[in-house]
Amino acid sequence: MSTSFRLGKIYGIPFYLHYTWFLILALVVISLSQEYFPALYPGWPSHLHWVTGAVASLLFFASLLAHELSHSLVSLHYGIPVRSITLFIFGGVARISREAGSPKEELLMAAAGPLTSLFLGGLFLGMEYIISSLNEPLAALFSWLMQVNFLLAAFNLIPGFPLDGGRIFRALIWKLTGRYKTATNIAAMLGQLISWMFILGGVFLALFTLNWLSGLWLVFIGFFLLHAVSLSKRHSLLQERLAGITAENVMNRHIVSVPFQLTLGDLIRDYMDVIRAGPLLVVDGERIRGIITASNIRSVPERLWAITPVIAVMTPIARFSAAYPQEDILSLWEKLEASRLKVLPVLHEGRVLGLITREDLRRFLG
């Protein structure tokens, strides 16, 4: 999440803006205020071009948000938690914690976004119709929003997995074959084919019509999509293989606790084999103070081991990102990768049930 900026929460789902989004927002505002609106309405004063451009861009952003949110609300309806929504260049990515449980769920989850965009397009069309004879800037604003929402629906309905259209396609194949894996493979193949069509189409456009910018843009979308296809395919298949494996299955329950006053010298003398095997919990009676690992110990020169207490070198428990017992393995992996500490304590009602290290996860992830 370090490349994104947290915006807030809607329905309990954290929303992020990818930093590239600010660049895109600026480009959209500039191209609307300096090119699109001035070309159509040269008579407007310059500040009106800017205001309309800025409002249009923000409402475009709100339309994207509505699109992503609709996907997420259908997921939540089927009991699939949505971890986050990130908006970036081509729209957004809603990160759900598992794949749909049935073709019907997948179909409705995928279709919700384009349907919302179509609905918004229709809404702005109606508003433009009503306001057209009354207020030109508002009519121009609604007209542009109508077009982008219809475009958004059309782009997302391209049947290249992992676009919404590709997910709808996968749901249909899944329904037909009854096999999720086969459906994912076929949808990914079509996704790759469509990506290459974008790339070749862009190359042809650039070479034969000398329309370099549009050509490059298509090539860029093609490569972006190609990358997204392989990533989504891997993620889908991994998620299916790992379905139902949670922190409880993965964690190491045999936690050894040591008192916080113990010196490193005593720790090494008494717990050498335990430290080699994994992290230890540092406690103060019932209270958990932190976690100590072999690398913590190595950070202290050997001559100081006899006088250094464990508490001085351990990592305080509050600095770890915690896992909960039912957390799925992919989420654990992401948390561990995001955390610099490489140990995840599994917490339940203030107690540490187990510890998870990268080695524990690797046994399952293969």
Size of the site for Zn ion (CB under 5 A): 3
- Shortest distance (Å) from residue 125 CB to Zn ion: 20
Q: Quick one: which H or E segment has residue 192? A: helix 180-208
- Considering only residues 164 to 223 of the shown chain, the ones binding Zn ion according to CB under 5 A are 164
- DSSP category for residue 1: -
Phi, psi of 245 (to 5 degrees): -85, 120
CA distance 290 to 314: 6
CB of residue 114 to Zn ion, shortest distance in Å:
6
With a CB cutoff of 8 Å and minimum separation 6, the contacts of 303 are: none
| 96 or 314: CB nearest Zn ion | 96
Between 157 and 355, name the residue whose CB sits nearer to Zn ion: 157
CB of 123 to Zn ion, least distance (A): 18
Near Zn ion by CB under 5 A: residue from 53, 113, 215, 278: 113
Q: Rounded to the nearest whole angstrom, what is the least distance from the CB of residue 315 to Zn ion in the complex?
A: 40
Shortest distance in whole angstroms from residue 321 CB to Zn ion: 29
Does 156 help bind Zn ion (rule: CB under 5 A)? yes
Residue 106 binds Zn ion (CB under 5 A): no
How far CA 132 is from CA of 100, 124, 140, 159, 203, in Å, comes to 43, 11, 8, 35, 40
Nearer to Zn ion, 157 or 250 (CB): 157
* 347 within 8 A of 332, measured Cβ to Cβ: no
Q: Which is nearer to Zn ion, 235 or 335 (CB)?
A: 235
- The distance of closest approach from Cβ of residue 213 to Zn ion in the complex, given in angstroms and rounded to an integer, is 26
Q: How is the beta sheet containing 315-316 ordered, strand by strand?
A: 257-259, 280-284, 287-292, 315-316
Residue tagged 């001085």 (tokens) = 312
Please name the residues in contact with 79: beta carbons below 8 A apart, sequence gap of 6 or more. none
Binding segment for Zn ion among 26-34, 113-121, 245-253, 338-346 (CB under 5 A)? 113-121
Supply the DSSP string of 203-249, one letter for each residue.
HHHHHHS--HHHHHHHHHHHHHHHHHHHHHHHHHHHHHHTTT-BHHH
Q: Which stretch binds Zn ion (CB under 5 A): 37-45, 156-164, 165-173, 187-195?
A: 156-164
User: CA distances (Å), 286 to each of 49, 216, 281, 348, 349, in order?
Assistant: 66, 63, 11, 15, 13
Under the binding rule (CB under 5 A), the answer on residue 86 touching Zn ion is no
Whose Cβ is closer to Zn ion: residue 115's or residue 274's? 115
Q: Decide whether 92 or 290 has the Cβ nearer to Zn ion.
A: 92
In 232-309, DSSP assigns E strands to: 257-259, 280-284, 287-292
Which residue, 156 or 236, has its beta carbon nearer to Zn ion?
156
* Contact between residue 148 and residue 60 where contact means Cβ atoms under 8 Å apart: yes
Minimum CB distance to Zn ion smaller for 221 or for 343 = 221
Which of the stretches 2-10, 163-171, 188-196, 333-341 binds Zn ion when contact is defined by CB under 5 A?
163-171
Q: Could you tell me which stretch among 153-161, 171-179, 222-230, 314-322 binds Zn ion (CB under 5 A)?
A: 153-161
State in angstroms the smallest separation of the CB of 67 from Zn ion.
5
Which residues have a Cβ under 8 Å from the Cβ of 296 and sit 6 or more positions away? 313, 314, 315
Query: Rule CB under 5 A: which residues touch Zn ion?
Result: 113, 156, 164
